[in-house]
């Protein structure tokens, strides 16, 4: 029986640069950083959340044929891939702190039926939702635009 999600992937055009973005700007911690043959296996995670890691996977090679690698790299750098949602208890405060660190935002914090959300982009082009959910779930009195 499946019990939980344990690992997800962030596609990267430069693992070292993405590792620095995740640790220095987003405040994540390195969980794994090992050489596996000709591949580097790197994972990061949110401090205190030990049940989920994000693998920083290169868009070139490592099981991808050249055509797939090129297509994936283009999609990532174009900003077509959403990498997930980052939960926060202070969206507006984290938005200000991350913006000060040079994180690019595609959307400032906005009220949504589920909470307050801002959209950031990583150093590759992947986008993340930075979300502060409302206590008790959806607030249907809030418009969704």
What is the rounded radius of gyration, in angstroms, for the C-alpha atoms of the chain?
Answer: 16
- DSSP H or E stretch at residue 72: helix 66-78
Segment 42-66, tens digit of pLDDT: 999 999 999 999 999 999 877 789 9
* Structural domains in the chain, sorted by start: 7-133 (3.10.180.10)
Confidence tier at 38 by pLDDT (50, 70, 90): confident
Long-range contacts of 71-76 (CB under 8 A, 24+ apart): 72/11, 73/13, 76/11, 76/12, 76/13, 76/124, 76/125, 76/126
Q: What is the mean pLDDT of the chain?
A: 92
pLDDT for the residue numbered 72: 93
Segment 74-104, tens digit of pLDDT: 999 999 999 899 999 999 999 999 999 999 9
């Amino acid at each position: 029986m499946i019990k939980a999600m344990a690992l997800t992937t962030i596609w990267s055009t430069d693992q070292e640069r993405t590792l620095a973005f995740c640790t220095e700007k987003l405040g994540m911690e390195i969980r794994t950083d090992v050489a596996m043959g000709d591949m580097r296996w790197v994972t990061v995670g949110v401090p205190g959340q030990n049940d989920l890691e994000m693998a920083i996977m290169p868009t070139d090679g490592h099981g991808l044929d050249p055509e797939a690698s090129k297509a994936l790299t283009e999609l990532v750098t174009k900003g077509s891939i959403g990498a997930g949602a980052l939960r926060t208890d202070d969206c507006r405060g984290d938005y200000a702190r991350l913006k000060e660190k040079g994180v690019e935002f595609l959307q400032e914090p906005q009220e949504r039926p589920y909470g307050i959300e801002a959209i950031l982009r990583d150093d590759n082009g992947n986008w993340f939702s930075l979300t502060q959910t409302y206590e008790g779930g959806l607030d249907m009195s809030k418009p969704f635009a």
